[in-house]
Chain A
């Protein structure tokens, strides 16, 4: 069965600093991977996804993630943090177009002025 582990329930960075949120997955088949963001009192929004092809995926708001099969990882990065990036971020995995999407436990990102 597929699963996702997000390392660090809370990450704090300074405004302008690099953002790195870690995600490792487990899947018995080639995975499909996602990052979603949740702002307070809202539902989740898709940031980016990897299905096939290029392993470096660019998403909205300057975020990107790289699929590394050898490390079973899909870490999320952003070169320069902005105050508006403060939110909860969820990594997710699926095993196919009709398969359920399983989310990690989330990482809360705080931005220091």
Chain B
């Protein structure tokens, strides 16, 4: 069974640009969560989607958005990039039932650098 796949693995953008990151969950998983990981702030929760609906949201500005498709694949978008958006963005999938107490399976992340 394939794991959680995130693309691209690395991305370099400049300030003011926008970026879209993609996450393909494990087959059958219906919940996808996104996290931002930085050395200073650690792992911060962005949002979680279940069956195409945003079910949970973290405390990030509106420049950060996401969506989930009917096949459970998810994308997150960051508009008007700032230097502080440089981070490793991790996606995690969980569960056929939407129970987040089941194990989260993480992808290897997308490393975004904003210049």
Contact = CB atoms under 8 A, between A and B. Distances in A.
Tell me what chain B mostly uses at the interface: helix, strand, loop, or mixed: strand
Interface stretch (B13-21, B63-71, B79-87, B93-101): B93-101
A43 B107 contact: yes
Contacts of B101: 32, 49, 51, 94, 96-97
Interface range on chain A (Cβ under 8 Å from partner)? 20 to 34
Interface string B49-82: 0100001111000000000000000000000000
Nearest to A45: B106
Contacts of A105: 41-43
B58 A100 contact: yes
A99 B106 contact: no
A97 B57 CA distance: 15
A29 B109 CA distance: 31
Nearest to B94: A101
A97 B106 CA distance: 18
Nearest to B58: A100
A102 interface: yes
A46 B94 CA distance: 12
Closest 10 CB pairs of A and B: A43-B106, A105-B42, A100-B56, A103-B43, A97-B99, A44-B106, A46-B103, A97-B101, A106-B42, A43-B108
Interface of B: 4, 33, 35, 41-45, 48, 50, 55-58, 90, 92, 98-101, 103-109
